[in-house]
Structure 1
């Protein structure tokens, strides 16, 4: 079986050992000769690379692990480039989670006004990285983990890059459902539909049979707790919403909870500090349990499966990904990026046909897609007016006075990252 060269941009992230562990454990699915860790922050990259080598050695993986400070150096001859980065680090995340709350709106890093701020900071940076990848190796696949995944993937695909977006929500639910039912995860198929961080499981199939009614009957309370959505609502829908739907279905209650709990970024920053201390320990040769508190459960498995399918080392397979709509959801533009199961192989990513989407979902999907289009326009072209347009169109904002105030706050807190401000 041929081996591959894979590069990770943003490898100084504390998430990286999760990926490393997946590459090591699943080497038969995705054989690699070399893994290139790319990050300009040498103080973070050095201990993470050393830990990666220890993890590979402990698990008997013979691949070379190298490092690079620039994408231009690291992406040469790479078959796939994974992008995981956070422009501005936890400081900007804390801002995204704070100033919207002061305006009475959800403070969150991927949706609402905070999500827009992250998109404005992130899209230009990722597009520049993608151009460097294209110059280094135009045949390389780009896999985007960077939030907001839907907007970033749409930016990449609109610029003509071989790109696909990946989120861990689907595989997380698949693993939870499989565990509850006591069946192998690979036997569970999800009827997963929507946009990134705006999805519903309309069916859960095991052995050709839809077991979603059984899941709700036997494990409804546990599922409701996991996704933080009232069980009564889940039963009414007959579908399992993703965790992120709580920001829409319970907006005001969540705002109160967030105002009382404080920014998640503070907790994450402390977890990151402790993780970096652990990574520097020369005796550590496994990913620490604390990494599970950082988030991103199972995303290494999702990444390995996707890259293996794209490169043909694991054969073609069906993966839940973020990719171009191309008529699959007929109420959206073809160039919208949707999150659905897709056939993935070296020929590309082809979203599978979907049965008609009920109005209680399609209306919100269409609304958020319109916002994402305006958000991308603001990220690409800049200007206060475009930021205001995106916020006014967002279903979590949608009021003139509120959009005006949020626009001013967004620009104020992000001047250092907005070339036009």
Structure 2
């Protein structure tokens, strides 16, 4: 019989939680869980998801010991894995992240530009606190982090915990792209052997090999050029996400070397993207009125009915599947390939060693064994170095409490560029985030 593990899910009140819980049910045979705790600082929000979870597990995983709590001792004691998806400030602050820059003629987006800067400055404090809380109670637990903006969080955690080799930062966007590639090519995405380099939300697939060593990237690029790019779950996607995926064809037309991460559109076409964003109704509003409302309403409805059988709260299976599969690969030394965020150390030969790059890695019981990609061309190197400079300056601004470093970070970002705009946006974000950020002097 396989060993069963203890897990805690941080951010239990997230709208992504039902999908993650369903992934645990689907994989109970290959990744048994003895005890699962959901933890959130927002008790009422988590309660709705937690009561739904009780029903789900009673129906699909009755032997699982499950609870949800706001108590750190209950949540973090005697754990093998910590799955983290926190959102400091909630959607209310995300809305500010998007609307404040937009009101000043600058892109407002969750993880890109000033919005990502603001979110990152909020996330660092709570992520450091969480790691310390976990290490006090479960010093050997693996911390698998989804918290955004993952690039800034990863750099901050490496700064604060340089010797902690059991923190692994990961994002589901590359696997979402791989699933969509599989659909376009009529192939099983699990059989792809991808080559990828970049930063989080800022990278490129260079090759898309199959199990026989055939590279399908040229065929995929030709398909997108002729037919456009449609995501794997297009029928579930909000219009803003469909517009995001549609931009892939534009990026490939202008820069045909590699298959781009969708978020690159904000950095390559900032003026165009700004013209398409509505300062009065942003993606945060779309989520709150859409997925947020639907997930919580359906969880409440399921509890009222006493069954989850009629609920359709699962959105984007890749999010839940991937992080559970990652834990399973570590637990049972499966040496499976994932795209993860790691310190460069020569993986991209012509980037500095301390850059937090996103690359493919084989994952087993001792963590990641990454695959290097050699030297990259000048254009991509320059793009990455500029973006990483922004990310590093953001982290330094937080640790040093430096207004100047924060201003440098926003000025460096390709969605801003102009220092006067950067100062204006920064001052407004400081006021909005006074309960979350350190004082910047």
**TM-score interval w.r.t. the shorter chain?**
over 0.9
Runs of 4+, deviation exceeding 4 Å: none
Deviations 1:265-320 (A, max 9, x none): 1121123133212212223415944553xxx55111110121112222x6221111
Query: Is residue 97 from structure 1 mapped to residue 98 from structure 2 by the alignment?
Result: yes
Take 2:410 and 2:222, find their aligned partners in 1: how far apart are those partners?
A: 39
Query: If the length of structure 1 is used for normalisation, what is the TM-score?
Result: 0.93
Correspondence for 1:172: 176
Deviation, structure 1 residue 331 = 3.0
Query: Is residue 50 from structure 1 mapped to residue 51 from structure 2 by the alignment?
Result: yes
Deviations 1:89-108 (A, max 9, x none): 11110011111112221101
Correspondence for 2:413: 394
Correspondence for 1:215: 220
Take 1:334 and 1:287, find their aligned partners in 2: how far apart are those partners?
A: 50
Take 1:168 and 1:61, find their aligned partners in 2: how far apart are those partners?
A: 28
Corresponding residue SS for 1:333: coil
Deviation, structure 1 residue 368 = 0.7
Corresponding residue SS for 1:203: strand
Take 2:244 and 2:94, find their aligned partners in 1: how far apart are those partners?
A: 23
Point out where structure 1 has 5 or more consecutive residues left out of the alignment: none
Is residue 106–residue 251 contact of structure 1 (8 Å, CA) maintained in 2? yes
Query: Is residue 203 from structure 1 mapped to residue 202 from structure 2 by the alignment?
Result: no
Is residue 21–residue 287 contact of structure 1 (8 Å, CA) maintained in 2? no
Quick one: which of 286, 303, 308 aligns to 1:285? 308
Is residue 29–residue 305 contact of structure 1 (8 Å, CA) maintained in 2? no
Corresponding residue SS for 1:409: helix
Correspondence for 1:301: 321
Correspondence for 1:336: 355
Aligned positions of 1:406-421 closer than 5 A: 406-420=425-439
Change (3 A) 1:409 1:277: same
- What do you get for the CA RMSD once the two structures are aligned? 2.0
Is residue 93–residue 265 contact of structure 1 (8 Å, CA) maintained in 2? yes
Deviations 1:173-209 (A, max 9, x none): 1111112222222111222210000011111111210
Aligned positions of 1:115-264 closer than 5 A: 115-160=116-161, 161=164, 162-207=166-211, 208-220=213-225, 221-223=227-229, 227-229=245-247, 231=249, 233-235=251-253, 236-259=255-278, 262-264=281-283
Point out the more displaced range, 332-341 or 13-22: 332-341
Query: If the length of structure 2 is used for normalisation, what is the TM-score?
Result: 0.89
Correspondence for 1:66: 67
Take 2:53 and 2:118, find their aligned partners in 1: how far apart are those partners?
A: 32
Corresponding residue SS for 1:52: helix
Is residue 120–residue 148 contact of structure 2 (8 Å, CA) maintained in 1? yes
Is residue 71–residue 129 contact of structure 1 (8 Å, CA) maintained in 2? no
Take 1:343 and 1:287, find their aligned partners in 2: how far apart are those partners?
A: 38
Point out where structure 2 has 5 or more consecutive residues left out of the alignment: 231-242
